[in-house]
Structure 1
Amino acid sequence: MDQQDGAEPVFVRSRWGTNRYVYNPASPVGRALIAGSLLFGGIALWVLHDDASWSEGELRDAVHAAVAELDGEPVEVGGWRGDYAQVITEAVRNSGEGPEHGSLRVSDHREWGDGGGAPTADRFEVGSDDVEDVYCLSVSPPWPGTFTVVSVDLTVSVAAGRC
């Protein structure tokens, strides 16, 4: 590299025993490239974190969109399709709100009738490790408990808070 007027080169050979070239911190351009690389890396990490975690508004919108999709519509359950928790999880993820791979919890709370016989409704808490908000979804009719695929017309309602 040609040195003009005593200017420092932007790249120098690494002193760590390799033949690689690295930014030269003695050069003003090298320092700018080092700072720019650190800034770019920090922004990239922040964007990746933001895309992988739920916000309160995203979770609320996703849950309400899932309820609107499931309420009054025939849904096939049983067999490989799983139970209501799986159906709710897929509806929340497919709502278009929130991160594609963020943490999502759907836990069931079965509600039994007065006589202790058949359950009257299945209730599910939907939440995330990223936010404190939790939503309670009431789904009826109760889970048919079958291994064959059946079509069920669901009635789904949502309330903020735990079940």
Structure 2
Amino acid sequence: MDALNKLNVLSLVLSAVLVAMACVKSDRVRSWRENINPSAPDLPDSAFVAARVVFLGLAGVGVYLAVQGFGVSDDASWSDGELTSAVQQATDDLNGYTFQADDGGAPLGFPGYATLIEDKVLENRGGDAPGYGVTVDPAETNTPAKASFTITADGTDTAFCTHLTRTRSKKDDYTPPGITGGEGTLTYQGYRLTMSLEKGEC
């Protein structure tokens, strides 16, 4: 449980204590005061009415702030369902995804596979899921042609492993108009991604 949720729970507990205090009978309070300090002046009924109004008012404020706090906490974190839906949709969107790469094999249009996957997960978030908090960790054995990534998000212990395979796709080659390389026309090689998904870390 994060710090905000702990604060919200504390606010509800304090509100419950205030309500309990407002429900204590005035005769019992008078009895307690008399036992502690017999010479203390008696409290009028209006004092108890005012105290109850104050306690209940503070309890109402506490409950309101806790409800608002839980809403903020929910908006700032991912749930299991939100991450599951976003990752599944991102995997479907990237299965068959085509792109071009330069002579060194670096993809054009995005910095790397991890960034591409993260962007797609965030793009497919739903409900109250925030536009941040997703982590995509590459496996140590990854290669440009075959890679795996563990996807997690703040607010949930759920994790997914997505497997990616890059295959050559000549029909997706791209030749910029009017640009030539050292040996003639420059052509960027096209590639296609195949994606699969399983629950749990890679």
Q: TM-score range by the shorter chain?
A: 0.5 to 0.7
Displacement of 1:79: 5.5
Take 2:158 and 2:192, find their aligned partners in 1: how far apart are those partners? 28
CA contact (8 A) 1:65 1:95 kept: yes
Asked if structure 1 preserves the Cα contact closer than 8 Å seen for 2:85 and 2:125, the reply is: no
**8 Å CA contact 2:151, 2:162 repeated in 1:** yes
5+ residue gaps, structure 1: 1-5, 9-24, 113-117, 143-148
Say which structure is richer in helix.
2
2: distance between equivalents of 1:124 and 1:76?
21
Could you tell which deviates more after superposition, 68-77 or 89-98? 68-77
TM superposition shift of 1:102: 4.8
* 2:196 pairs with one of 152, 157, 160: 157
The 8 Å contact of residues 135 and 158 in structure 1, kept in 2 or not, is answered as yes
1:36 and 1:76 mapped to 2: Cα distance?
A: 59
Distance 1:151 1:29 in 2: 72
Separation in 2 of the partners of 1:102 and 1:130?
11
Do 1:74 and 1:151's aligned partners in 2 also have CA atoms closer than 8 Å? yes
Q: For residues 150 and 36 of structure 1, what CA distance do their matches in structure 2 show?
A: 65
Q: If you compute each CA radius of gyration, which structure gives the higher value, 1 or 2?
A: 2
Please give the TM-score of this superposition, normalised by the length of structure 1: 0.65
Q: Is the 8 A contact 1:54 1:128 kept in 2?
A: yes
Residue 86 of structure 2 aligns with which residue? 62
Q: 1:61 to 1:76 in 2, by over 3 A?
A: farther
**Alpha-carbon offset, residue 35 of structure 1:** 2.1
TM normalised by structure 2 equals 0.54
1:88 alignment partner in structure 2: 117
The amino acid that maps onto 2:76 is: A
Matched residues in 1 for 2:125 and 2:189: separation? 26
Structure 2 residue aligned with 1:35 = 59
State the partner residue of 2:176. none
**Corresponding letter in the other structure for 1:64:** Q
In structure 2, what is the Cα distance between the partners aligned to 1:53 and 1:27?
39
Alpha carbons of 1:151 and 1:35: their partners in 2 closer, same or farther (altered >3 Å)? farther
Larger strand proportion of the pair: 1
Provide the rounded CA distance (Å) in 2 between the counterparts of 1:46 and 1:135: 26
The match for 2:150 is: 125
Preserved CA contact (<8 Å) 1:111 1:119: no
What do you get for the CA RMSD once the two structures are aligned? Answer: 3.1
